[in-house]
Structure 1
Amino acid sequence: MSDSENESIKDLLDCVEEYENLIREKLKDDGKEPTAVAKIEDDLEIPMEKVIFGNREELLKNFAVAVGEYKKVKSEKEAASDGEDDTVTESRKRKPAWTDTDDTDIKLGEVKRPTRFSGPQDHIRKDKAYKEYLTTRYVRTVPQPKWAERDFKNEDEDAEDEALLQTVGFVAKPDTTNLRPTHLEYKRLKDLNRASYAEGSVTSIQFIPKSTAALVAGTTGISTIYSIDGAKNEKLHSMHFQKFPILCARLKPCGTKAIFGSSKRYYYVYDLLTAREMRYKLPKGVTAMRNFRISPCGRYMAVAGIFGNMHLFDACSQELIHSFKQNDAVSSICFTADSKNIICNSLSSKVNIFSLTKRRLAHSFVDDGCLNGSAMDLSLDQRLLATGSMEGVVNVYDFQKVQLSASPKPEKAFLNLRTSISDVKFNHTAEALAMTSVKVPAALKIAHFPSATVFANFPVMKGDIGKIGVVEFSPNSAYLALGSINKTVNLLRLKHYKYY
């Protein structure tokens, strides 16, 4: 037994002994003898709470002792747990391998100088450590990923907090993991290509997947890689191809090689690591590379040809593997996520799905309300397929239902744009669909899914974004790039998404 239980039994025995003494005194005063228990109970009645708890003074004294000992034990346990937490935190904290005194001695005023891009530096603290400035800027651009965060919170405490909230009637917090359908929070940053504007009419924008940089190409034959920080967007590298207007540029999934196509009978493959360019001549029957796509696996390259031909190349050896044929000219191409099928939109109402394993037409369906197709995109999860037409209609289909019917009905038809659709693009979660038309200025809309509604507050900068011909989301949708025909690439920061 514990000490508290022993004390309780002792108190109870004392009360019984006191009770017996009182009975004896009472009987002695009355001249009676304790002959039977029933007779004694008739003569004198003692309250039951006194038998159980004892006198009031003793009860309070026992309570005071018990509370004091409990507080003492609790404080000792808390002190021990705090010491263990401090020890664990100190043991898990990584120490630098070496330190440089210049990191703390160099001030920001010694490094930062006003330039023609930044202007005067009056808003910057000149006495601030340069290392602190660089660290803050890096964290703001590339925040710490969730997998690197260490959470030492006890799971039992989380369960208790959740049970408490359910008991006392607190309202649960709103879900912040999904994009809200009513209002799009975004911020316009400095133009992505503000360091040069040398690309001319922008035809392609490709975000490099493994670094915060983007590749911009245009009709002047110049392609440039820009860093993305939202403030300067400095130029990192530039490639110039003589007499070669770039009409389409694509990055391989590895992000180390770029392929540039034009109206010429040859194309370029550029190695971004070694800064070497390789020129390849197109095979017989392929006249140009105005429009092409690279498969997600990086093995295949699909090129839109003339007279309804769609040519399949090996992206490594640059050899022609096979040519698919459809009745009308190819307007847009996209691969499925498993790289086993190619979806081709045509200058008619037909959309064809070709199988790469069987090397034949697998399925064909009619795009509802479309006369001439112009753009197309498939979401990364292969759930939604968006098709745009020259009539200004954007249809969104359930891709699983499309493969089961020759005339499927779209889940949603967007009629917000009245001119020919130039580009449609899903973000990485398929929550946002960007659609644009290059025919008129500021012809740009973003639709939300699964609500299938258009954000009413986008865009608000209608006067100065120009005619948008191409749109592109960053790998994790934190940035949205809008390429216009007037040499500018507008850069937007979507605040809902945290990472590049």
Structure 2
Amino acid sequence: MAAKNKSKKSKSEVNEDAEIPLPNEEEKYLEKLVFGDQEGFSNSLKQIDRLYDEQEEEGEKGEKLFIYDSESDDGYLSKMKNREEEVDEGNEEEEVEDEFSKLNDDRLFIDDRDGEEDKEEDKEEDKEEGKSDEDVDEDAMDVTSDSNDAWYDSDDQNIEVSLASSDKLRKLKATENEEKLKGNRYILRLRAQFERIYPRPAWADDYEGNETVKDDTTDDINEHKFDSVGDKSTHTHISASSNPLVDFLRTNQSYRLSDKNMRLLSPEKIDITRLVDANIKNISHSAIQTMSFHSTHPLLLTGGYDRTLRIYHIDGKHNNMVTSLHLRNSPVQTAIFNNSESTDIFAAGRRRYMYKWSVSNGQIEKITRLYGHEQTQRSFENFKLSPNGEFIGLIGSSGWINLLSTTTGQWIRGFKTEGNLVDFDFSTSSPMIIAAINSGGEIWEFEVKTGKVLSRWTDDTGVGVTKIKFSGYNGNDRWLAVGSNTGIVNIYDRMKGNKLIGCVENLVTSISSLQFNHDGQLLCIASKAKKDALRLIHIPSCKVYKNWPTSGTPLGKVTSVCFSPKSEMLATGNEAGKVRLWRLNHY
């Protein structure tokens, strides 16, 4: 083994010491062909520089082709000139190629037919059918001339459509003897028939640049007795501005309350008609928790747990949505129009703040703190506005009612009752009064201006009280209604020392809604705990109307009720997110 290793070592040492012979001419030639040499590389650079110089001088003469000759001995780039005729032909071909490369794809193909000859042939055919030149020009209008068309097919004018092939196509005939139509005329006839069935929408004109478009709901307001100021017709304009509600209030005339034709309602039968749902154009995604009519304009505000306020223009037929506002992270429990001179909207849910939407400038602000009275107000979800629009009343904790300013949002005054406060309401009389009721059925009456307690008395039921409500407007607060969780509603006459004049026992579940109409002749009571649990009560007889609602009235579980300012309409919101609308024909 040692001898073998020794022999291997000596052989490797011999290989390292061996001399490598110099390459011969053939090897140098092959190496030069594969790798080149320094002299060839320098000459190539010179040739390339000369190439660029000659191209700049010669321009478009065609002497610009350099070819690498792999068969030559030196392997350099050689320059070859084309013949003058070949150069000229090559330049012409390149110019044509450049022209076509600049064209769009749709212009690479042309119709070689003569358009004038086609028009003359069309006119001659139409004259044979008995049409005048004016009719021919009108019908032969190319539908592709409208630059707004999204699609154009040049084969349309080559297609013939038989009008006698079906009954539907016979309606497209302009004359009795007309049997066939060319494709472009057939398109025009179809378009004209479609526009007769479905008229051009107002938003299309508005999109094309018109500032205001007259809506087709103009006559509906007059039809449903939304009286305008000065007995003039009401016009509705919808514009594409960023604040459509402001434009609506500015461009539409309002109606006003009037007692000239006030008549007494019959206690036996109510004349009521169902209208199109108020929110048919945009149904809520949750139950309707609150509704409010505008005092001077035909607008309805709705809100719910889908965190969205929606405002509808109520005309009884179309009920278009004017605008909407999404309140992030704030489900809406109460939302009210402020019926003062400046139209503001207040909305709140189970949060320690409320929103104020100033419609005039589009600003939204939060009313968050009561500055020293935070412990008495855990949530802003239950609040009411005073009839004059000056105050916000909040149902607080520990029997407190907190009064805020609608303009500044600052705390003004607080009213304290014993026990747990259940509900309260503002009167429209002067001086303004707040009637508050606690869980034990005790009713407290406070004077808003001074905060004094005017009276304190107890409801006859006295157990499970849920709601309290004043009646009337313009100081007519004669009636006071109190609802309970057993479905009983007590009605009191305040002019006779809060005397009980009626007890309604038609419902058996908790009263969730109490609403008087504007003149105090109707009281609507409802319970959301049971389907179709709604009744209309005549005041002062306290009789429930038997002819409405019926077993077929589609009320659902009523979560909110609201009368329009002149009682011409009654709106009922249900758990399915729909607002049913009813017309009270007496008003």
**Short-chain TM bin:** 0.5 to 0.7
8 Å CA contact retained: 2:271, 2:585: yes
Residue 398 of structure 2 corresponds to 307
Are 2:580 and 1:486 equivalent residues in the alignment? no
Aligned length: 348
Residue 343 of structure 2 corresponds to 256
Are 2:468 and 1:383 equivalent residues in the alignment? no
Deviation at 1:280? 2.0
In 2, Cα distance between equivalents of 1:146 and 1:304: 37
Q: Which stretch has the larger CA shift, 330-339 or 361-370?
A: 330-339
What are the residue-to-residue correspondences of 1:332-347 with 2, within 5 Å? 332-337=423-428, 338=430, 340-347=432-439
What are the residue-to-residue correspondences of 1:217-228 with 2, within 5 Å? 217-228=303-314
8 Å CA contact retained: 2:289, 2:332: yes
8 Å CA contact retained: 1:199, 1:220: yes
Residue 172 of structure 2 corresponds to none
Deviation at 1:141? 3.5
- Report the structure number with the largest CA radius of gyration: 2
Are 2:521 and 1:438 equivalent residues in the alignment? no
8 Å CA contact retained: 1:225, 1:237: yes
DSSP-derived class of the 2:495 partner: helix
| 1:463–1:341 Cα change, 3 Å | closer
In 2, Cα distance between equivalents of 1:483 and 1:211: 20
In 1, Cα distance between equivalents of 2:215 and 2:319: 20
In 2, Cα distance between equivalents of 1:241 and 1:197: 17
Aligned amino acid, residue 359 of structure 1: G
What are the residue-to-residue correspondences of 1:350-361 with 2, within 5 Å? 350-361=442-453
8 Å CA contact retained: 1:368, 1:409: no
In 2, Cα distance between equivalents of 1:425 and 1:261: 20
8 Å CA contact retained: 1:393, 1:417: yes
DSSP-derived class of the 2:500 partner: coil
Are 2:322 and 1:236 equivalent residues in the alignment? yes
Q: Percent identity?
A: 26
Are 2:198 and 1:113 equivalent residues in the alignment? yes
Q: 2:417 aligns with which of 326, 342, 361?
A: 326
Residue 374 of structure 1 corresponds to 466
8 Å CA contact retained: 1:188, 1:491: yes
DSSP-derived class of the 1:400 partner: helix
Residue 274 of structure 1 corresponds to 361
8 Å CA contact retained: 1:185, 1:496: yes
| 1:108–1:398 Cα change, 3 Å | farther
Between the two structures, name the one with larger relative contact order (CA 8 Å, sep ≥ 6): 1
Q: Deviations over 1:435-483 (max 9, x none)?
A: 1111101110001123221110110255631111221100000000111
DSSP-derived class of the 1:137 partner: helix
In 2, Cα distance between equivalents of 1:143 and 1:358: 39
In 1, Cα distance between equivalents of 2:378 and 2:290: 20
Aligned amino acid, residue 510 of structure 2: S
Q: Which stretch has the larger CA shift, 137-146 or 390-399?
A: 137-146
TM-score of the pair, normalised by structure 1: 0.65
Residue 487 of structure 2 corresponds to 392
DSSP-derived class of the 1:435 partner: strand
Residue 513 of structure 2 corresponds to 423
Listed as ranges, the gaps of 5+ residues in structure 2 are: 1-191, 202-212, 233-260
| 1:461–1:212 Cα change, 3 Å | farther
DSSP-derived class of the 1:411 partner: strand
8 Å CA contact retained: 2:220, 2:317: no
In 2, Cα distance between equivalents of 1:278 and 1:211: 24
Are 2:249 and 1:178 equivalent residues in the alignment? no
Deviation at 1:365? 0.8
Q: Deviations over 1:192-214 (max 9, x none)?
A: 11112135111111001111110
Residue 200 of structure 1 corresponds to 286
8 Å CA contact retained: 2:292, 2:302: yes
In 2, Cα distance between equivalents of 1:132 and 1:360: 52
Aligned amino acid, residue 204 of structure 1: T
Residue 16 of structure 1 corresponds to none
Q: 1:139 aligns with which of 222, 240, 258?
A: 222
Aligned amino acid, residue 416 of structure 2: K
8 Å CA contact retained: 1:442, 1:462: no
Aligned amino acid, residue 310 of structure 1: I
In 2, Cα distance between equivalents of 1:311 and 1:463: 40
Cα RMSD (Å): 2.8
| 1:294–1:440 Cα change, 3 Å | same
Residue 74 of structure 1 corresponds to none
Deviation at 1:415? 0.6
Deviation at 1:433? 0.6
Are 2:559 and 1:469 equivalent residues in the alignment? yes
Residue 31 of structure 1 corresponds to none
Q: Which stretch has the larger CA shift, 445-454 or 130-139?
A: 130-139
Deviation at 1:112? 7.4
| 1:483–1:339 Cα change, 3 Å | farther
| 1:277–1:219 Cα change, 3 Å | same
Q: Deviations over 1:353-385 (max 9, x none)?
A: 112233232211110123021112111211111
| 1:357–1:132 Cα change, 3 Å | closer
Deviation at 1:136? 3.8
